[in-house]
Amino acid sequence: MWTIVRFALGRDRDYRAALDLLRHAGFQPHRTPLGGEAEVFPAAVVADLLQDPSVVTRAVFAGLQDAGLLPVGVAAAHVDVGRAGREARACGSMAGPRE
């Protein structure tokens, strides 16, 4: 099942490194429909995964944190790409510590 993972980092300059890290883990970059500064999670990746979204959320958050990329928040959800509107089937989210 396709899983979308959206995330926000504490430093704008780290998004390229985060996308490279996640690409090596099997994710593909995903353009969010809204984009821009209005987006709560300005970056997203997708992958065809069998894991529960909460497990994916924790793994991505930990990976970004271990790489020193200062994750502020990560949220994952399964999506059914066969239906119009891409209805979310399950989701998980995790936010980092506030400064």
Q: Residues 28, 47, 22, CA angle at the centre, nearest 5°?
A: 50
- pTM reported for the whole predicted model: 0.76
CA proximity to 77, closest of 87, 90, 95, 86: 90
pLDDT at 31: 75
In order of their start, the domains of the chain are 2-95 (3.30.70)
pLDDT at 5: 95
pLDDT at 1: 83
**Cβ density class 55-92: b for 16+ within 10 Å, e for less:** ebbbebbebbeeeebbbbbbbbbbbeeeeeeeeeeeeb
* Residue written as token pair 């987006």: 39
